[in-house]
Every structure is written in C-alpha cells, then in structure tokens.
C-alpha cells in the first residue's frame, strides 16, 4: 500500500504548471485533493513518474458570482461548496450533493476539478455538472476553452481533458427563480461509492411541472440526463401518481450493467426509489427553494 516512486513538482504559477505538463505530459498526473488519486497510487493502480501538485495555486480556488452563473475554481474543496452561503443560495443542488461526498475529512481536501477530471461514473459532482448543464473551463498551452459537462465526460474515468491541460473552473447556471431541487444517493455503507444517485430540478407553475430535469448517476459509463423522459411530463400535475409514472419511465429508460455484485434489476429498482424520493421532496415543497431571484 505504498506508491511507486515519482518525482514531485509544486508549481507556484499556472504557467509553470502548464509548462511542467507540456514537458511530462503522459508520464505525469496532476494532484488536486488526492482523495481518489492517492488511493489509486497507494494501490499502484496509478504509477505516474511525475506528480504535479496544484495545491500551491490558490488562484484556482474560490467561488465567484457572475451574472446568472456561479464560477467555482477547480481547487475549491467539497466542504466549501457544501457550506458556502453563496453556493447554497445560487446553486443549492450543488451544495446538497457536495455534502454527500465521501466523509467529513475527505470533503476537506477533495476538489471540484479533481472529481470531474477523475470522472467516476457514480460520483456526485459529474452528475450535478451534467444535470445542470455546467461548463468546464480548461486551460492548456493554446489558451483556454469551455466545454459543456456532457461533452467533457466521455466514458468511465475518461474525459475530454488532454494530457497537457488543466481544469481551471466550472461555471454552473444559477438556479431559476422558484426552482426546486433534490439530490438522492444510495450506497451500502454511508459515504461509500454510490450504487446509484439522482439529481432533480423542477419549477412548478401552480401544481404542474413547467420545467423538469432528471439526472441519474452510477447506471452507465457517464451520468445520464433524461431530458426525453422529463419533457414528456411537462404540464402534468405534480402529484404522487405522476411521480410514480416518472420514476417508472426513468427506470425503463436506463440500461444498467449486470454485475456479479449488483444486478441490473437491483440497480434499476434503486434508481426508481431514488427518483421517487427526489420527486416527492420536490413536489412536496420540502426541497430547498432557490433563495434568490
């Protein structure tokens, strides 16, 4: 459980970090919070020759409110997103999801950019970024570019990030006025990897859905945003019968892998239960309402 040898680099500027990546590229790994990478290195699943540490780059952390957008630096820790009054007011789904990642000590170090770059298909932040349509700002030798989360996440632990690039920030759209949200996650042991997770946002006009987004994690190579399913229920009454029909439709729209430990049938049942819980909270008005607008 000790990592293989590596050379350690601690750049003090973003330019230095990019130069190091340009030089070492495929032999290097960037370390942010290290809460996923260090276990992989300790178990020698990952054996980078060079470790480039972003922890001396405070300019990569921080939460900035822009018009209609919340820009969050890649090195911002989960705990800060979970507890920040700005995130809770402007992007409450993100705050709720961040509070469920791993454990208290893990959340102190784990970062937004690290979670997205790691791209675990069951992880909370890729699911929230996809569901909300967040944009990933990437910086590399040729300048910066922005990619929607759904395009950034390509497959299991595979992203659009090139070997010489770094995530600088993520832009989340601010919650619409009166938008409701709920995040539900299930794992066998609290804080363990999720068997499935579900993120929902909705706006109700009277007692009918005027907008509805449903994202599901842990059931495919990347988080799924089920717009085709959700749009079929716009204008319908937000009552228990509709909730049950939506959950049934979501469970029917996914095709989880059949695994020895977790069968497809079981995972589909878990998703149905999570979607039902999330929609019950959203429609009962017990989910947090967006505070601004």
Partner 1 sequence: MAKTVIYLDVNGVRHEVHCEPRKLLSDVLREDCRLTGTHVGCEHGVCGACTVLINDRPARACLAYAVQMDEARIMTIEAVAQDGRLSPLQQALHECHGLQCGFCTPGIVMTFEAYLRENPSPSEAEVREALSGNLCRCTGYQNIVRAILLAAERLRAETADV
User: Does residue number 42 form part of the binding site for partner 1 (CB under 8 A)?
Assistant: yes
Q: And the tokens for 110?
A: 């784990």
- 61 HSE (CA, 13 A, CB side): 18
Cα four-point dihedral sign 162, 163, 165, 170? positive
User: Does residue number 190 form part of the binding site for partner 1 (CB under 8 A)?
Assistant: yes
104/252 with CB nearer partner 1: 104
Q: Are the beta carbons of 292 and 90 closer than 8 angstroms?
A: yes
Q: And the tokens for 24?
A: 């070492």
User: Does residue number 95 form part of the binding site for partner 1 (CB under 8 A)?
Assistant: no
Q: How many C-beta neighbours within 10 Å does residue 265 have? A: 10
- Token look-up 């791209």 returns 119
φ, ψ dihedrals at 38, nearest 5°: -60, -45
43/155 with CB nearer partner 1: 43
- How many angstroms from the chain centroid is the CA of residue 120? 9
User: Does residue number 188 form part of the binding site for partner 1 (CB under 8 A)?
Assistant: no
User: Does residue number 186 form part of the binding site for partner 1 (CB under 8 A)?
Assistant: no
109/277 with CB nearer partner 1: 109
Stretch that binds partner 1, among 99-107, 199-207, 232-240, 279-287 (CB under 8 A): 99-107
Instruction: Give the chain's end-to-end CA distance (angstroms, integer).
Output: 50
Size of interface with partner 1, in residues (CB under 8 A): 30
User: Does residue number 191 form part of the binding site for partner 1 (CB under 8 A)?
Assistant: yes
User: Does residue number 103 form part of the binding site for partner 1 (CB under 8 A)?
Assistant: yes
User: Does residue number 69 form part of the binding site for partner 1 (CB under 8 A)?
Assistant: no
User: Does residue number 104 form part of the binding site for partner 1 (CB under 8 A)?
Assistant: yes
Q: What is the DSSP string of 177-241?
A: TT-EEEEEEE-SSTTS--SEEEEEEEEEETTEEEEEEEEEESSSSS-EE-HHHHHTTTTSB-SHH
* Continuous segment of H or E residues that includes residue 157: none
CB of 57 to partner 1, least distance (A): 13
39/62 with CB nearer partner 1: 39
User: Does residue number 5 form part of the binding site for partner 1 (CB under 8 A)?
Assistant: yes
User: Does residue number 260 form part of the binding site for partner 1 (CB under 8 A)?
Assistant: no
User: Does residue number 19 form part of the binding site for partner 1 (CB under 8 A)?
Assistant: no
User: Does residue number 102 form part of the binding site for partner 1 (CB under 8 A)?
Assistant: yes
7/158 with CB nearer partner 1: 7
Q: Are the beta carbons of 14 and 166 closer than 8 angstroms?
A: yes
User: Does residue number 51 form part of the binding site for partner 1 (CB under 8 A)?
Assistant: yes
User: Does residue number 8 form part of the binding site for partner 1 (CB under 8 A)?
Assistant: yes
> Which of positions 107-136 make contact with partner 1 (CB under 8 A)?
108-109
Cα four-point dihedral sign 201, 203, 204, 209? negative
**Sites of contact with partner 1 (CB under 8 A):** 1-8, 10, 31, 34-35, 38-39, 42-43, 51, 53, 55, 79, 102-106, 108-109, 189-191
């Amino acid at each position: 459980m000790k990592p293989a040898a590596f050379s350690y680099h601690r750049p003090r500027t973003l330019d230095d970090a990019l130069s190091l990546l340009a030089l070492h590229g495929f032999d290097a790994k960037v370390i942010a919070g290290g809460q996923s990478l260090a276990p992989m290195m300790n178990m020698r699943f990952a054996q980078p020759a060079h470790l480039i540490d972003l922890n001396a780059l405070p300019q990569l952390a921080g939460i900035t409110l822009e018009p209609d957008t919340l820009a969050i630096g890649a090195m911002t820790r989960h705990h800060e997103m979970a507890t920040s009054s700005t995130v809770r007011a402007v992007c409450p789904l993100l705050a709720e999801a961040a509070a469920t990642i791993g454990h208290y000590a893990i959340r102190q170090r784990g970062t937004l950019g690290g979670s997205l770059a790691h791209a675990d298909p069951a992880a909370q932040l890729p699911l929230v970024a996809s569901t909300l349509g967040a944009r990933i700002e990437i910086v590399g030798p040729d300048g910066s570019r922005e990619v929607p989360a759904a395009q950034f996440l390509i497959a299991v632990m595979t992203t659009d990030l090139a070997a010489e690039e770094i995530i600088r920030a993520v832009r989340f759209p601010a919650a619409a006025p009166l938008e409701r949200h709920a995040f539900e996650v299930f794992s066998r042991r609290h804080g363990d990897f999720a068997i499935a997770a579900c993120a929902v946002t909705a706006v109700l006009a009277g007692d009918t859905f005027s907008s509805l987004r449903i994202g599901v994690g842990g059931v495919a190579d990347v988080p799924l945003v089920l717009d085709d399913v959700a749009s079929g229920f716009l204008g319908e009454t937000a009552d228990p019968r509709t909730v049950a029909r939506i959950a049934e439709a979501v469970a029917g729209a996914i095709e989880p892998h059949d695994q020895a430990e977790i069968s497809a049938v079981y995972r589909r049942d878990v998703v149905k239960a999570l979607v039902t819980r999330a929609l019950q909270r959203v429609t009962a008005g017990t989910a947090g309402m967006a505070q601004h607008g």
